[in-house]
Structure 1
């Protein structure tokens, strides 16, 4: 019988920076490695045989049949090449199967319940990015538990990239600075009207109302987010200016807004729908009004927009699609916007995720009690992997500022606008 440790060495190499231990008593790897991969049951081997690479590892980890001892980020950084490989020779697959007598390719183990497979959506006859399917996909990710999100995100409840004014800034300082950066780019002043699409828990809506005297409407497809936001708006005495609705952005009846912010929504729109998306936001603005589009982007335009069978799409963002910044700029200009400013906050998102990961680890037992071990494991894996992705330039975060030009192409911008506050330096 082939030992699992022997299979591990053939797949990962004898010098792999990860220690390996299995239920059959075998072990391999460097004794001084910071990370240990523990295969607890034959089910983990079955998952890896069915889906070699990142998906199989994710399934085995989320279900608890495989463990990683040590810091998750360090584990993923150490296993970067192993975890991203989707091609393991058939001969090595067969060795995996022979290592555990009962495991056969025909004995397929169903994925963990946390996985949102395409059949769960397609089986209901919902085409991608229809209103019904978008609502279900958003609910899968955001209607987890407000209490859980509070543990991870902290008091700001901002589930988007922060903007760090300094290396030593706290997460709360950075999230405040992000909202203020958006407000400054939009040129918000007292009495203006703001529409925030995909508003989450209403952080931008409340910031604009409280600090700029703006009348702000936010919309989200998550019922839990809308309820939490409306309760918080009332508690902070902002009800005269701020409102969050459980509503699709396509169904907002009002128009003629002075500004529109879209912070973390574009990833859910879908490539085919981007022209209509930007055109609809353009139509919501008065002449001279501005749009700030803040979203995750991919580093290259010649790569696929989405991986429907990937870990992120199956476990975190069903139907998510990322575009390169140049593509987004082109679609904005096609819709009528003049693009005035573009900024990449890639390193800021890596720092944001570092703070979120630390929050989850600090409240791990509470998080497991709130959402269950499987869901908590999804988040630990996803956030550590995302941090690595931003650090290694697999993904980026762009803010793109556009304006709906006024009469005679008036933009309303200063010749050299400054979006950062004057610190007196």
Structure 2
């Protein structure tokens, strides 16, 4: 018997798209009737939303970007504190959250009561897929803040029925002390934080991660777990029964993608609430969700009331790993490769810092850490080898020259990119507790 949270997860994907095609005109009508911002936008785009009846016609619309959101919030007013694209009245708002601001000034998103219920529905599907069950005790390692991965995640995990322990935001010592006292089954936090705890647990509390009670390790907030070496590292470090990742976007829904027991890519879980597209980030052309296809993820709300978005470019660059699965779910599966705003180009080849990190993690004696050095924040195109810093694993017997030579070869072989590595002390490439920056501007 197929074990899913919601039957729509096993409906044929073509039927799901038919539902999206049916919902889309209603959302466009809502935007036209309720929002002067969108009426102006449609006029600028020379678009008549009432004439759009199919998804193919919809792909002719221009894209929205993060900058559009920021521009919308330049002149916030008491009537529209979330910016011009706020479509529901302020009196109808039930929650306000924000982005982390890691790629610029934080932006704010609103949820009405209906939006909030929709978010919980989608996130409960995703969290169930990752392996969280109502009988579980979840050590929630992310801070209880207004960012997407904070309170909204905590709420959905609670509605799923789990006993959620909100220990995030505390010191590492306090977090691990809670783990030894409460005996949780699940560790839920960011991928960077999992690695940080893997390395610090024994020093901080005198107990190795494998001896801590959590056996389900679930991370998000950045790519990494999909790499076999990193997943294996987490399995070994925590003596885990499962290691999975999940992903979303605060502008859209906090968590929309999640790995099942096959651990071969994250399934889409926002069927009926969000329409997703895959595009060529350079040309904007849509690409089918076919195994092996790559591109930027683009989202459109199908029933959002508070701060809806239309063809919103996420900046997340993904590779499709499959369109069917032994788990029975029918939505596309992806690996997130990196952020398009972190993408560098070497002689026409796209290269993501996270992809370089994942590749070098396969080299014996090299720590799964990297820092890419660029001379200027606007420098994107490279003809000469890209400077990177790597670190050797403590205790390795391999020489620096051996590590450098193999890193050069493996990156060139797998990514078609030349790099110029420098070996630095492992402490110079720390793993941040929540998110790790992989690019540094250095003149």
Would you say same fold, with TM above 0.5?
A: no
TM-score by length of 2: 0.33
Larger Rg computed on CA atoms: 1
TM-score (norm 1): 0.34
More strand by share: 2
